[in-house]
Amino acid sequence: MTFANDIKDIKNSNNLELARVKEVIDGDTIHLDTGYSIVSTRLYGIDCMETSLIHRTYHQAYDQNTTVEKIMYQGQSAKKILNDIIKDNNRSVYFKTVGVDHYGRLLAIIYDKNFKNINNMLTQTPYCIPYMPSDKSK
């Protein structure tokens, strides 16, 4: 999977908006304060381990051949990494809307103050993997 890495293209893009991160829900979901409303936002192109014991946690444990406890630990680790990145950027991020998922969350690629792709940064950790749904509504 590739993300737009050319900083010049990103800086010149009219598709980027600035927002504050109100809350980090987990490694791949945040609440953005756009100035107009608080928007539940799913980071596009990545899938992080779950932070709590839900049905999907069992699937991840099975797929990874590990325990649900380890999956939840990895999920909490992904959340901490994202929280640290957000704090380092004074809670402000640039974002590019990609679509809306089947839960009604905004799908977005987020960038730090230096226009580095945060979604891509997270896939460089052992807690998140690249993920491309078959269409933009998932």
In this predicted model, what pLDDT tens digit does every residue of 72-121 receive, in sequence order? 999 999 999 999 999 999 999 999 999 999 999 999 999 999 999 999 99
Q: How confident is the model at residue 32 (pLDDT cuts 50, 70, 90)?
A: very high
The values of phi and psi at residue 117, to 5°, are -75, 110
Instruction: Give the model's pLDDT for residue 12.
Output: 52
Q: How confident is the model at residue 135 (pLDDT cuts 50, 70, 90)?
A: low
List, in sequence order, every beta strand (DSSP E) within 58-116.
92-100, 106-111
Q: Give the residue extent of every domain in the chain.
A: 7-130
Q: What is the mean pLDDT of residues 14-18?
A: 86
Kindly report the CATH class assigned to 7-130: mainly beta
Model pTM score: 0.84
